Amino acid sequence: MTAQVLAGLLADETRLRVFSAIVLGAATPAEIASATGATAKEVALALHRLTGGGLVADDDGRLTAATGRFKEVLRSPAGAERAVAETDTGDEGTAFLLRTFVDGDRLLGVPSRLGRRRTVLAHLAHRHFRPGERYPERAVNDILRGWSDGSGTDHVAIRRYLVELDVLDRSDSTYWLRTEAGTGS
């Protein structure tokens, strides 16, 4: 996680209040809504983003704040510089999108908007799949597990997104990078 991603997760006032309530001991959505004055829908949306970003963990229905993420970010200034260099596409908007959702070869979260989702996943796909090469499903799963660790999305969903968004093609449990799939950058 980069400092930008962390700041982005907490930049929204509702998400910040929800995270603060969890830090102060609220452990269920109902407790969070009561502590923050937010509606159930606002709490659910904020929790979705915070858990997807790795700032909140759900342990059998009990929510906890992953406050150790702040120390991680502070201890890794070089990581933030590397992430900027790896996502420098010449397009400021795309670079910002990639820095928000990608840390090196790890997916930090999956954008909800399809165009943004395609851009992020195509970026990673073009880093890990070679044009013209066919990959058995097991190899694809291994690659995607590496991306999805900590993203809040499992590798199967990511594989499905890659096919649905025309980044990868599939036939008989074999996958390949589509030649017309742009990097999204």
Q: Locate the domains of the chain by residue range.
A: 3-71, 83-177
Which of 103, 97, 179 is CA-nearest to residue 134?
Answer: 179
More confident residue, 145 or 63: 63
Query: 121-137: per-residue pLDDT in tens?
Result: 998 888 888 888 899 99
Cα–Cα distance, 183 to 24 (Å, whole number):
42
Closest C-alpha among 171, 168, 145, 167 to residue 156: 145
More confident residue, 87 or 37: 37
For domain 3-71, the CATH architecture is Orthogonal Bundle (1.10)
Q: What is the dihedral of CA 154, 155, 157, 160, to 10 degrees?
A: 180
Asked if 108 and 97 count as a contact pair (C-beta separation under 8 A), the reply is: no
Q: What is the mean pLDDT of residues 16-40?
A: 95
In Å, what is the CA distance from 183 to each residue of 102, 129, 130?
A: 14, 11, 12
pLDDT tens for residues 155-185?
899 999 999 999 999 999 899 998 764 444 4
Average pLDDT, the chain: 82
Tell me, what's the pLDDT at 83?
44
Q: How far is residue 55's CA from residue 69's CA, in Å, rounded to a whole number?
A: 7
pTM of the model: 0.51
Distance CA 55, CA 57 (A): 7
Share of the chain above pLDDT 70, in %: 83
Q: Which residue has the higher pLDDT, 102 or 44?
A: 44
